[in-house]
Amino acid sequence: MHFEELIKTIKERREVMQVTQEALAELSRVGLRTLKQFESGKGNPTLLTLQKLADVLGMEVCLKLKNVTRSK
């Protein structure tokens, strides 16, 4: 998942859950400004910020192997 996908995933998940940026910001204890920047594609969140958001959205950050089948 590259950058844009991760952002999109967070944003879509938030919308599916019908939570506003403001509510998510409060619940995750991430500044509203930070969340706004993140969702609008600006900035480069820290892992901690990403985890705080993901957590509230019932998601988790993970690392998985690419090319399970073959390179390319």
Residue 13 near residue 55 (C-beta atoms within 8 A): no
What binding mask, one character per residue, do residues 42-71 give for its own copies by CB under 8 A, x or -?
A: --xxxxx-xx--x---xxxxxxxxxx----
- Find the part of the chain contacting its own copies (CB under 8 A) among 1-9, 18-26, 28-36: 1-9
Residue 46 near residue 61 (C-beta atoms within 8 A): no
Q: Which residue has the tokens 């089948």?
A: 69
What whole-number distance in Å separates Cα of residue 31 and Cα of residue 29? Answer: 6
What binding mask, one character per residue, do residues 5-44 give for DNA by CB under 7 A, x or -?
A: ---------xx----xxx------xxxxxx-xxxxx-xxx
User: Residue 51's binding partner, choosing from DNA, its own copies, none, with beta-carbon cut-off 5 to 8 A by kind?
Assistant: its own copies
